[in-house]
Structures are given as C-alpha cells and as structure tokens.
C-alpha cells in the first residue's frame, strides 16, 4: 500500500500502524495502548444477498448491510482490528450492571470509557471478583477503565474577548486531530482533522457538522471543512453509511442525511470537482437510505423505507437494534419499564430512531404528546428526512451529469421530482397551513407544528402558495422574542419543544424565507436570534447548545432542560450559524452588539454580508483538481463474518425482505476519477416560484444562473460569471472576506462529566386523512416548484433593540439597492 499523503487539508495522514506489543502495567496486565493504529488495509463491507425476485443493484452501488452484520469481532495477529460491536454487547453483563448501578452521573461516560484489557479477560476477572464478599463494583470499574478526557470552556471569558474572537478561539478548542485507534475503545477512528460539537459530545456528529461547517466557511477555514467532508466519506466507505456519531454504539443508525448539503457547501469553494470526487459516497448514502425500496409492498416498511397503500415511496427513521441505547442505557430501561402496554423492544427501537432524527426528544415523536414511553418514531414520515432524500437524488443527478452518465442523471432527476411531489402531497397539511409529519400507520397528519415546516423552503421544494402560507404560520405561531421555538408545544419536558430554540432551525428558516422573497421576516428572525445568543454571551461568556427564546428576560443559562443531559457549551452549530447570520445581516449585528457592548470591541469593523451563490456554477481551478486527485487516506477495519446468534433486523410489512444469516463481502465503491473540466449543471426547465416582484433586477450574468434545489443550503461566496449560453465560465472561486486582525484568545479548558435529567411532556392530537391524488391521476404528482434565481441578500435597516425585557418590533427593512 502506498504511503498516505497529506491532501492539503488541516489534517495529516494517519501514521503507519504500530507493530510493538502493548505495554505491561506493574500488575502484569496490559495497559491501554493509545499509540496503536488501526490497520489501514482497505476491506469490504458485508451486504445481504439479493432475495428471490429482488432487483439486482446496478454497478456502482450495493445493498447496505444491517448493523448486525457489522457487530462481530475478528482477531488480528499483530495489528489492532476494531471490534465494531457496541459496549453493551462486548461487555455483556458487566455493562448492564454498570448502567443499573449508575456508576457515572452521565451514562455516556460508561460507553466512552476505555477498558484496560480484552473483553474476554475483563469479563472473566469480573466474574471472579463478583463472587468475593468484599466486591465493590465502583472500585472494579475505576481499576479497569480509563475515562476519556472531556474538554469544555469555563463561563469566564478572557478580558476584551468579543463574540467573534470567542468563535475563532473555539475552533481550536473544538478541533480534534486525526485519530489513532486505541485498543478496546468505542471511538471510530477518523483519518482527518475534525470539529466536535462541544461538552459531552467529544466525537464527530453527523448533522451537527453541516452547521458547524457554515462557520468554517465564513472564517475561511476551507481546509478544515474539506477534511470533515473527507471524514464523513471515510465512514461511508467503511460502514456503508454515516453513523449518528463516530462511535461503535452509533453504527446501527445514521442521522438526518446532510452529506449532500456538505458537498454543496464544499463545492461553493472547490467547484464541481467536489461532486465527482464524492459521487461514490453520495451513491452509497442513497443506497443506505433506500435499502429494500424495490421489495416492499404497498402498506409495508423495511428499515428506512415505507411504501404507502397508493404505492408512494417515502422514508422514516430507523435503528437496526432494539435494545436500550448504550449512551442512555439506564434511562431507556426506566422508560420501557414505565409502559406496560408495549413490548420493551418496541420502545427501545423508537427511542433509537428518535435519536436518529437529531431531535432527541420532542413531542413530535410521542403518541400521547407528553409521555416518552409512547414514542413511535418509526411510524412517522418526517418533514426533514423526506426533503433531504430528494435533495440527495438531485445531487446525484447533477454529479452523474458531470461524469457524462446521462442515463443515471435523468433517472435520479426523475426520482427527485417524484419525491418532491410526494412530499408536497403527503406532508402538506392544509388545515395547519404548514408541512407536518405524517403517521403512515394511521394514514393521517400528526398535526404538530414545528420548525421543520421551513425545511421545504430551505431546500426550495415548496410551491409559492405553500411558502406564503408557511411564512405566515411561522410568524403567528413559532416566532418569539428570541427567535423561533422548536415546536408550538410548551413545557412538554422535552428539550426540542418550546420554549427552546435551536441554531439549525433558525438558520434554515432564515435562508428558506429569503429564497422565497420573505426578507423582512427572515431579517426579524435573525435579529431576534442574534440578540438572544449574543445577549446570553454577554452574561455568560460562552455560546450554548440551545436557548430559551420565549422568556422576555435573557438568562445566562441559555435554554430550558428536558434533555437527558445538562446544558452543553461550546457549541459547534451555534458558533457556525451565528457567524453566518452576522455576516449576512451586518446592520442587525451592529445594533445587537451596540446593545451588548461587553460582547464587542468598539473599534471592531463590521464584516460585509456575503450574497448567496449557485454551488452548481462554481468551477474548479487546476490546483483544486490536483489536490482532489491525490489518494484519500483510508482507515478500514478488516472484513468480518456475521454472527448468527445475534437477532435479525426486525421489519414491518409482509413484503419486507429478510436479511440472510450470512452474506459474501462486497468491496466498497472506489473513489471516482475527477475530470479536468467538469460539465456545467443541467439547466432548470420550470418556472421560478415566488412573486417576481420580490427579486431585485439582476445583471445579465446573474439572470443566466439558476440555483438548483440544493444550492440554497450553502448560500456563501459571490455569484460566478456565466456565459451567454448558460454555461459557467472558468473562474477562480472568490476568497472569503477576512475578519479584521485581532488576536483570538482560546478559552480555558476544564474537565466535566454532566449529570442526567428527567423529562415530562404535554398532550397532542391527530388529524387529517390520507392525501390522495386526483381521480385518474398517478400516485406521484408532477413537481410544481423549482429553484428561483438567487440574488444578493438585502441590507436591512436597523432592527429593534434586543433588550432583557420584551419589546415589539416596528422596524421595516428596506429593499435591496437596485
């Protein structure tokens, strides 16, 4: 194998694997070996064999294995081969005893702790020690496990450190170097540098990373952003999907699929080479989420796929395991025990699927609206997931067009159009005037309004009429003094409900409303959110995971509780989106900072706003293409055989295929070779949504560039030049405006191990009937919305002052200058 090379990113290649034997402790036992490295030899991943009558997957894609196919152990004579089973399986019996005894205040500490010797030896010692009359479990654990270091920032910021300096300093605090494989650790090693969310979240998380990357883009840290995309691609290559987080106990599920949006964001700087380079991983991501789609009969479901009675294919959240979550083991035991009407396995599965949504937890997933044990996530077709899958199909269509595969490009374009039409029909709730999750088993809308209603606007998949209705619904029902609440449900006891607001929801709503011409409302949301976040920073000196946006008074503690852990500080997605909003609304920012002088330096210049741009229109220069042609660093575990004793993946619906007990290994799709001159994006053919009056006049170059559905998510940089024939010209990607020189001060670091908290939610109701296509029409309606031509964000007038007490907003932004 050739020596891995640095690809010009922030991270260096993983060094060669260690061949020295593990060190011995004074008592003769093996000590943890932090210097050991994973075997870098590429290996296949396991996939179920095709069922009888099942369509064979085309070349370039493969069926994705259920998580249980990965959960086995293989021995390596010299090198470390990572055991991909979760700690609850590896440390059978001992792990559950640790959880039930509440050895750690935060259950996640138990799964991140590193055993000092092999599971077999450790379990044998545990069995012998447990039989002694003087046995103390806590002492045994402290002797045989090493706790991972957790870094967090203190509430005392450095003198004269403004909010921008804080964010720049936090990149260093939250950044992690390329991983080396530590023996017996649950951490999945990553070959490139990455950024963690903060607090207890000390590994790479899937959807968090996209919103963190927005800040990296704004700060000009393109190498680090590119490395994070490579880390995501590395996990797809190794495991067939991006897990919830880079830990073995997350492998049985993924998280809301933002990978295609990450590639969009990277393409804003690197150009079209990003799409062709990551095409194999984009395809594998799609295969994972659509596994079993060709075999599921109407009314059935398999893993992430649901086929409705009329034949419409949609997606749900799912986890391949039906046991308590390793990271919340004691909490899940209590939750399942409190519900006598359901099998514990059903509760565990839905809790796990709820974690895959990223909203863990919310009344959106609770059947009675207030009791966690009634969670039924697998019954729901969620708004976000069923917008992101068609965006992934759109991205595949564009990437295949760049590769010259017209047939594949047309196929995925058709799939995307069908899925957008299905989303509009199934998830649009006319009575609520919003996009609402759909209970596919009951055949009705859940009726619960949430910030997810802005997702179709964010991805430009709403019709003009739907976008107008959503804007008004958001204004009336979700907008509070400090921004948008997660849902309309107040005091449910769940952290993803009111009064809490979350950074991703604000960002997607602001960008989505901008794209449909509702600039005044978008500016108002941005101003209120920035006032709440920066106002809290002035009081506390940190940025937080979530915020109470309903309280007229700003608390230094941020959001309300309700989660399974205390407030976390750092915080990746808050940092990233705040920087993005500050750059897009400089006048709003100036007012907020003037009202919070301790968060700003008087002589700090305002960074100018950056307009949105078309990610499909940015061309790659020669240096970028050469960088992408370098080999990727790979970190591959050895292939392993499935364990017949583990339970098979459960399924719903008679037509769901049954995974076999064994299957031959399938080699991962190799990385695509990048063409020197990528082909331009396919032109849009359907009219732009939104009133024409909402967009200001454009230059000839801007008028020729139509933004694809996916480009809305990135929204950074400047619009590239476009030739009169519609093909993008070869231009160099513009540099991100630099922040004025200042010496950032890295916040101090302390260790923490937060405690868990309990929850109690509020009731909900169900409504609506199954939306059906018109008589004589096909089950899939034609797409009625297409991307609109983007223009520079308006420069709004001064927003209302954000004060500790509530104050009505009366300021009205002026239209953009012509």
Identify whether 391 is preceded by a cis peptide bond (ω within 30 of 0). Answer: no
> Quick count: other Cβ atoms within 10 Å of Cβ 621?
15
Q: Please give the Cα distance from 660 to 671 (Å, whole number).
A: 28
Q: How far is CA 111 from CA 108, 246, 324, 523, 568, in A?
A: 5, 12, 13, 43, 19
Q: Please give the Cα distance from 497 to 493 (Å, whole number).
A: 8
Coil, strand or helix: which one is 479? strand
| H runs (alpha helix) in 385-518 | 385-402, 406-427, 455-458, 464-473, 503-515
Q: Please give the Cα distance from 688 to 706 (Å, whole number).
A: 9
Q: In which residue are the tokens 């009336």 written? A: 476
Q: In which residue are the tokens 């640790």 written? A: 98
Identify whether 456 is preceded by a cis peptide bond (ω within 30 of 0). Answer: no
Q: How far is CA 656 from CA 245, 268, 304, 307, 706, in A?
A: 27, 40, 11, 10, 40
What's the half-sphere exposure (Cβ side, CA atoms, 13 Å) at 582?
28
Provide the Cα torsion 183, 184, 185, 187; round to 10°: 80
Q: How far apart are the first and last CA of the chain?
A: 58
Q: Please give the Cα distance from 550 to 537 (Å, whole number).
A: 17
Angle at 358 between CA 549 and CA 185, to 5 degrees: 125
Where does residue 160 rank: exposed (0-12), middle (13-18), buried (19+ CB within 10 A)?
A: exposed
Q: In which residue are the tokens 């695509």 written? A: 672
Categorise residue 161: left if φ over 0, alpha if ψ from -120 to 50, beta otherwise: beta
Q: Does the active-site annotation cover 545?
A: yes
Separation of CA 56 from chain center: 30
> Quick count: other Cβ atoms within 10 Å of Cβ 414?
13
For residue 21, give every residue at least 6 positions away whose Cβ sits within 8 Å of its Cβ, in sequence order, or none: none
314 strand-pairing partners = 306
Annotated catalytic residue, options 360, 384, 437, 793: 360
Per-residue tokens: 240: 């067939």
CA proximity to 212, closest of 568, 748, 570: 570
Per-residue tokens: 263: 């590639």
Which DSSP helix (H) or strand (E) runs through 146? strand 145-146
What's the half-sphere exposure (Cβ side, CA atoms, 13 Å) at 598?
12
Annotated catalytic residue, options 179, 320, 545, 716: 545
- Eight-class DSSP state of 251: T
Cβ atoms of 153 and 570 closer than 8 Å: yes
Cβ atoms of 200 and 568 closer than 8 Å: yes
Pairing of strands 175-176, 428-429: unpaired
> Quick count: other Cβ atoms within 10 Å of Cβ 85?
24
Cβ atoms of 584 and 539 closer than 8 Å: no
Angle at 546 between CA 543 and CA 547, to 5 degrees: 90
Q: How far is CA 779 from CA 405, 412, 659, in A?
A: 28, 18, 29
Identify whether 790 is preceded by a cis peptide bond (ω within 30 of 0). Answer: no
Per-residue tokens: 692: 């024409």
Coil, strand or helix: which one is 239? helix
> Quick count: other Cβ atoms within 10 Å of Cβ 78?
11
Catalytic center residues: 360, 545
């Amino acid at each position: 194998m050739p020596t891995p090379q640095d690809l010009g990113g922030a991270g260096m290649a993983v060094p060669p694997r260690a061949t020295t034997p593990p060190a011995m402790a004074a008592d003769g036992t093996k000590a943890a070996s932090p210097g050991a490295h994973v075997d870098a030899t590429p290996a296949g991943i396991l996939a179920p064999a095709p069922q009888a009558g099942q369509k064979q997957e085309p070349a370039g894609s493969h069926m994705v294995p259920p998580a249980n196919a990965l959960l086995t152990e293989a021995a390596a004579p010299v090198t470390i081969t990572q055991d991909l089973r979760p700690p609850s399986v590896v440390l059978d019996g001992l792990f559950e005893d640790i959880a039930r005894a509440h050895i750690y205040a935060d259950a996640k500490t138990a799964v991140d702790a590193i055993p000092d010797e092999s599971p077999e030896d450790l379990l044998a010692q545990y069995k012998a020690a447990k039989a002694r009359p003087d046995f103390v479990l806590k002492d045994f654990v402290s002797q045989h496990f090493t706790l991972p270091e957790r870094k967090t920032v203190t509430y005392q910021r450095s003198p004269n450190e403004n909010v921008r300096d804080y964010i720049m300093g936090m990149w260093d605090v939250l950044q992690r170097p390329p991983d080396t494989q530590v023996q017996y650790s649950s951490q999945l090693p990553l070959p490139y540098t990455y950024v963690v969310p903060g607090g207890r979240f000390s590994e790479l998380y899937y959807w968090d990373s996209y919103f963190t990357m927005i800040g990296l883009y704004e700060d000009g840290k393109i190498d680090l952003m590119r490395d994070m995309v490579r880390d995501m691609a590395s996990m797809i290559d190794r495991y067939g999907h991006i897990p919830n987080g880079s830990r073995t106990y997350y492998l049985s599920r993924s998280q809301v699929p933002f990978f295609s949006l990450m590639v969009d964001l990277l393409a804003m700087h690197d150009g079209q080479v990003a799409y062709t380079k990551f095409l194999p991983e984009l395809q594998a991501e799609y295969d994972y989420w659509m596994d079993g789609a060709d075999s599921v009969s109407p009314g059935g479901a398999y893993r992430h796929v649901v086929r409705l009675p009329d034949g419409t294919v949609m997606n749900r959240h799912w986890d391949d395991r039906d046991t308590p979550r390793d990271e919340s083991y004691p909490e899940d035991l209590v939750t399942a025990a409190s519900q006598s009407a359901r099998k514990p396995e059903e509760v565990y599965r839905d809790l796990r699927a709820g974690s895959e949504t990223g909203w863990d937890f919310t009344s959106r997933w609770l059947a009675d609206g207030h009791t966690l044990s009634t969670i039924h996530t697998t019954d729901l077709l969620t708004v976000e997931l069923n917008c992101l899958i068609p965006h992934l199909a759109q991205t595949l269509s564009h990437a295949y067009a760049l590769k010259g595969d017209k047939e594949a490009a047309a196929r995925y374009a058709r799939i995307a159009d069908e899925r957008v039409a299905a989303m509009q029909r199934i998830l649009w709730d006319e009575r609520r005037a919003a996009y609402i999750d759909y209970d596919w088993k009951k055949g009705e809308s859940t009726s619960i309004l949430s910030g997810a209603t802005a997702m179709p606007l964010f991805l430009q998949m709403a019709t003009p009429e739907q976008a107008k209705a959503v804007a008004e619904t958001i204004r009336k029902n979700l907008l509070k003094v400090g921004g948008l609440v997660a849902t309309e449900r107040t005091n449910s006891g769940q952290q993803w409900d009111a009064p809490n607001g979350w950074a991703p929801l604000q960002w997607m709503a602001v960008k989505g409303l901008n794209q449909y011409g509702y600039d005044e409302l978008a500016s108002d949301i941005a101003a209120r959110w920035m006032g709440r976040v920066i106002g809290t920073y002035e009081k506390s000196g940190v940025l937080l995971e979530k915020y109470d946006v309903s309280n007229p008074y700003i608390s230094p503690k941020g959001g309300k509780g309700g989660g399974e852990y205390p407030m976390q500080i750092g915080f990746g997605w808050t940092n990233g989106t705040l920087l993005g909003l500050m750059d897009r609304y400089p006048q709003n920012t100036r007012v907020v900072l003037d009202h919070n002088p301790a968060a700003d330096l008087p002589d700090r210049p305002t960074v100018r706003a950056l307009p949105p741009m078309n990610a499909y229109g940015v061309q790659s220069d020669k240096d970028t293409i050469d960088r992408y042609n370098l080999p990727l660093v790979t970190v591959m575990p050895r292939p392993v055989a499935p364990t017949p004793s583990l339970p098979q993946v459960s399924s719903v619906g008679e037509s769901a295929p049954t995974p076999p007990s064994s299957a031959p290994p399938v080699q991962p799709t190799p990385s695509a070779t990048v063409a020197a001159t990528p082909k331009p994006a396919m032109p849009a053919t359907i009219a732009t949504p939104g009133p024409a009056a909402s967009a200001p006049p454009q230059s000839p170059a801007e008028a020729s560039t139509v933004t694809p559905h996916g480009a809305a998510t990135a929204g950074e940089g400047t619009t590239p030049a476009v030739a009169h024939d519609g093909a993008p010209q070869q231009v160099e990607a513009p540099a991100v405006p630099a922040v004025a020189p200042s010496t950032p001060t890295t916040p101090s670091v302390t260790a923490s191990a937060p405690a868990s908290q309990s929850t109690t939610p509020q009731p909900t109701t169900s409504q609506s009937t199954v939306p059906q296509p018109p008589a004589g029409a096909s089950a899939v309606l034609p797409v009625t919305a297409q991307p609109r031509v983007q223009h520079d964000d308006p420069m709004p007038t001064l927003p209302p002052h954000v004060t500790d007490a509530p104050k009505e907003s009366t300021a009205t932004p002026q239209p953009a200058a012509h």
